[in-house]
Chains A and B, each alone.
Chain A
Amino acid sequence: MNYIPTIGLEVHAELSTKTKIYCGCENKFGAEVNTKVCPVCSGMPGTLPVLNRKVVEYCCKMGLAIGARINQLSKQDRKNYYYPDLPKAYQISQFDIPLCEGGSVPILVNGEEKRIGVTRIHIEEDAGKLLHDDKFSGSLVDYNRCGVPLIEIVSEPDMHSSEEAKEYLEAIKRLLQYLDISDCRMQEGSIRCDVNVSLAPEGSDALGTRAEMKNVNSFSGAVRAIEYEIRRQTELLERGETVVQETRRWDDMAGQSFSMRSKEDAQDYRYFPEPDLAVIEVSDEEIARIRGALPELPHDRFMRYRALGELTDYECGMLVGNLAMAEFFDRCTALERVKPKAVCNWLLGDISRILNERGSELSDAALTPENLCAMIALIEKGTISNTAAKTVLEVIFDEDRAPEAVVEEKGLAQNNDEGAMRTLVCEILDANEKSVSDYKGGKTNALGFLVGQCMRASKGKGNPQIISKLLTEELSKR
């Protein structure tokens, strides 16, 4: 039997606010252990939380970006459980009235737009981290991460393959980046997710029993976890067994998930309203202000690039996926000097290569849209060759200089003088009788060799198109 998987995702994203959610401690990754802590976030007796309003604003940004409804009165609740990384033994979260409800995230599946529903987005605090040290037999705990603000984005079970899930996760990440509300440092765990998977026989309306996998810390891990779970459940069903509703822990190293607890002994978090915090109010004015300040969203940008009619979906996606590059692209096309396709080629080609080699960001480079477009215009006019342009790029990448000046200084201009070129072409043909007879005999690749000889003789400055044209003319005369 064929089984159709149904997938829902709960994405936890750390917000990049300056300070933590309930105290004034700096929200900073990678500080020395237990240096970004205070009596409040370390759960000292008698301390009280004070909500950082930026967290509300950031969460509303995300909500408005996906068309969610903002609950103008929402509340915070305590989720009670014991773990050494949770100093109060409860996490302040939102239970029955989250800040945002509804909305959807568009993704592309085989070039077609599909919208993945979002159930809710709520704010909550992160927990600390347990550390293990060989010099010490027990566990150590670092509270720096305690109270780092998180939003939890809960999707509807609208995805049916690991590819769709990956697209959705990428879309969420792009939104977080475009809205500038999360650093999205994947390897540092600033986006984590829980994965829900169930299987149902093809054609069935009912959903199967779902299993939830926790501890998925990367997008590729999510894909592996989903694929593993689909395999595991398929095998169970094919053997005639049933899937147990349970929580499983994903072990990315082992590439396997392990049962943590079944529904029967599901943890009871004893949620109740957080008595130390007032109800969160969001005014109409605040919503209007946040909505008004939303940037162009990644999906809209994608559709705009697609509508240019020159770029492939792959190219549109590559540009959109890198906000700095997309913005640079827009500044270039706004100049209306050169074709968008050419700009895209340079950005995704040599410019990306240089950035990768250096491990740097486009924003760190001295390259300006004006200089890049001027360079491309020189190619289009035939002033320089593509090869010479690479040399120009190396210079204007690091120095804000007019490409024309670089071409001048380095003597990179092409020779477009047909008269002079023809003399040179004739000389080369005279000196390479063997190639000429090869060409005449039908070996057309001899032409390439002859072009190369001419280019060398012109010290690289000959216009290869002109040389090629003249060679063909002169050869036909022989």
Chain B
Amino acid sequence: MELYRMTAEELSALLEKKELSAAELTKAQFERIHAVEPDVQSYITLTEEEALRRAAEIDRRRSEGEQLSKLAGIPIGIKDNLCTKGVRTTCASKMLGNFEPVYSATAVEKLEDAGLVMTGKLNMDEFAMGSSTENSAFQKTKNPRDLTRVPGGSSGGSAAAVAAGECTFALGSDTGGSIRQPAGFCGVVGFKPTYGTVSRYGLVAFASSLDQIGPLARSVKDAALLCDLITGRDPRDTTSVPGDGSNYYGSLNPEMKGKVLGLPKEFFGEGISDEVKSAVLAAAKVYEGLGATVKEVSVPLIDYSLPTYYILSSAEASSNLARYDGVKYGFRAAEFDGLVDMYNRTRSEGFGSEVKRRIMLGTYVLSSGYYDAYYKRAQKVQRLLRQSFDEVFAGCDALITPTSPTTAFKLGEKLSDSMQMYLTDICTVSINIAGLPAMSLPCGRDKEGLPIGLQLIGNRFCDQTIFDVGAAFEAEFGRLDVAL
């Protein structure tokens, strides 16, 4: 089998047995990238030279008998909103088109320490705002399952690269579904950990209270392996929760007997396509076949999750993105008349329209006189939504829902209609608002052959349960092969 089709687990075994060198693997990886990248365009920046150098170093260390981590030498792609020291980190924005961080994100440092080989920085919606990766200032990434369709977003580059065999796995970030929705669209596994389990230090902030870094991979086990590397308390992020880290991979237990899975009825209502619905319900049958109990449950207030999400996330974004003012780094307008004009022109020219829309929305909801009506109420809904999830999880181990209402849509199809675009996140945003762990994994294909995503939602800090439930399904259903 071609190396680019293999999972990290399989590659790791070959590397450990020295049947494969990291240098060979890296070289093969870049051959694959060069072959499909003209079509897929998932990378903003490729770091081939550095990758080959690192791979050679891993080989040298291995040959010297050093005990390396299980994932040493495996190629990984990084979403371009994770800071990488000395490697351009753009957030797919003209604003940071020339920005080279002076430090690396904690998650990136951990990968480097474990000897993974970074292939490059992956495309995304500008500042992670979007659901199709069409909001990138640089390029439009195509869905490798159908090049006329979007890969989803905002981690569309990460999902497309994994699906196209352009890296073994990747890191993405998820604020309202940005890992799970593209994973669903591209037919790969995407996991958003419980808020606070992975350090956000070095993740360029979109909405600080919702952002979470997570893995995209070709198998549940690979996602678990990658997640184990990045989980753990970070003194540089005081919102990260205590704990030395996780061992999801080593603790995997796909036994479904005794598990209770909930089907929240609000996730199967209007707007969810019939094909998606039936694929997810079929998945529920698979679980029943494995011995799990499946029951219908209700999470009231889900209807309010989309407006709540757009108020909270835009409010935080309006503040988080205020620092891009042309003073210190990144883009500055070429011509201006005085300080205020410099701010205005820099931000008008440097940001794309979706980012500006959200900054305006966020500025509005935080304005004096509107704060109580919008932001404060959204916070109240957030608390209530958490409560209603708490109540549901008192009687369930996990919830089963669609990841998205539909499969991947056509490039350009929803670009002019923000509301239609926002609705594609209807199944995912509530999970971020409640800070829960959730996974998307393939559970079927529609009649056009496009992957359908199954979303598994767990209670806070029950990430292991989601890996267990995901692995059980994958063992029955199988994985989707690399596209193209």
- A residues within 8 Å of B by Cβ? 39, 42-51, 78, 80, 82, 84, 87-90, 141, 268, 270-272, 275-278
Contacts and interface: CB of A to CB of B under 8 A. Distances in A.
Contact of A275 (B102, B203, B208, B318): B208
B201 A272 contact: no
B366 A270 contact: yes
Contacts of A270: 318-319, 363, 366-368, 371
A260 to B, nearest CB: 15
Interface in B233-267: 235-239
Contact of A87 (B81, B99, B236, B323): B323
A92 to B, nearest CB: 11
Contact of A48 (B236, B318, B319, B375): B236
Given A80-B319, A90-B322, A272-B375, A48 B200 contact: yes
Contacts of B81: 46
Contacts of B328: 42-43, 87
A277 B319 contact: no
Nearest to A278: B238
Contacts of A278: 238-239
Interface string B65-90: 00000000000000001110000010
Contacts of A82: 322, 325, 343
B13 interface: no
A269 to B, nearest CB: 8
A45 B201 CA distance: 10
Given A45-B205, A276-B205, 11 more contacts: A44-B102, A45-B89, A46-B201, A84-B325, A89-B323, A268-B368, A272-B316, A276-B239, A277-B238, A278-B238, A278-B239
B103 interface: yes
B204 interface: yes
A46 B108 CA distance: 12
A373 B81 CA distance: 70
Contact of B319 (A44, A49, A87, A272): A272
A88 B324 CA distance: 8
Interface string B98-122: 0101110100000000000000000
B98 to A, nearest CB: 13
Contacts of B388: none
B99 to A, nearest CB: 7
15 contacts: A39-B103, A44-B102, A45-B204, A46-B81, A46-B203, A46-B204, A48-B237, A78-B319, A80-B319, A82-B322, A89-B322, A270-B368, A272-B366, A276-B237, A276-B238
B323 A46 contact: no
A48 B239 CA distance: 9
Candidate in A47, A49, A78, A268 with the most chain B CB atoms within 10 angstroms: A47
Contacts of B82: 46
B86 to A, nearest CB: 13
B187 interface: no
Given A87-B327, A87-B328, A272 B89 contact: no
Given A89-B322, A90-B322, A275 B316 contact: yes
B57 to A, nearest CB: 26
Contacts of B238: 48-51, 276-278
B209 A275 contact: yes
Given A82-B322, A84-B339, A141-B327, A47 B201 contact: yes
A131 to B, nearest CB: 14
Contacts of A51: 238
Contacts of A275: 207-209, 239, 316
A44 B85 CA distance: 12
Candidate in A42, A51, A268, A275 with the most chain B CB atoms within 10 angstroms: A275
Interface residues of B, number: 43
Contacts of A272: 315-316, 319, 366, 371, 375
A225 to B, nearest CB: 26
Interface in B319-358: 319, 322-323, 325, 327-329, 339, 343
B367 A50 contact: no
B202 interface: yes
Contacts of B236: 48, 50
B15 interface: no
A277 B236 CA distance: 11
A84 B319 contact: no
A36 to B, nearest CB: 16
Nearest to A267: B368
A50 B106 CA distance: 15
A88 B319 CA distance: 8
A272 B207 CA distance: 13
Contacts of A45: 83, 89, 91, 96, 99, 101, 204-205, 323
Contacts of B203: 46
Contacts of B239: 48, 275-278
B397 to A, nearest CB: 29
Contacts of A87: 323, 327-328
B83 A46 contact: yes
A91 to B, nearest CB: 11
Interface in B284-322: 315-316, 318-319, 322
In the A-B complex, list the 3 residue pairs whose CB atoms are closest, starting with the nearest: A89-B322, A270-B366, A275-B209
A48 B89 contact: no
Nearest to A49: B238
Nearest to B99: A45
Contacts of A44: 83, 101-103, 329
Candidate in B82, B202, B207 with the most chain A CB atoms within 10 angstroms: B202
Contacts of B209: 275
A25 to B, nearest CB: 14
A395 B324 CA distance: 63
Nearest to B343: A82
Candidate in A46, A51, A80, A277 with the most chain B CB atoms within 10 angstroms: A46
A47 B328 CA distance: 15
B305 to A, nearest CB: 18
A429 to B, nearest CB: 86
A84 B323 CA distance: 10
A278 to B, nearest CB: 6
Nearest to B208: A275
Candidate in B89, B201, B319 with the most chain A CB atoms within 10 angstroms: B319
A39 B367 contact: no
Nearest to B200: A48
A84 B83 contact: no
A84 B96 contact: no
A34 to B, nearest CB: 11
A82 B366 CA distance: 16
A162 B14 CA distance: 81
A272 B82 CA distance: 25
A47 B103 CA distance: 9
Candidate in B99, B207, B315, B328 with the most chain A CB atoms within 10 angstroms: B328
B362 to A, nearest CB: 9
A89 B330 CA distance: 15
A80 B322 contact: yes
Contacts of A43: 323, 328
A402 B371 CA distance: 72
A42 B201 CA distance: 15
A271 B367 CA distance: 8
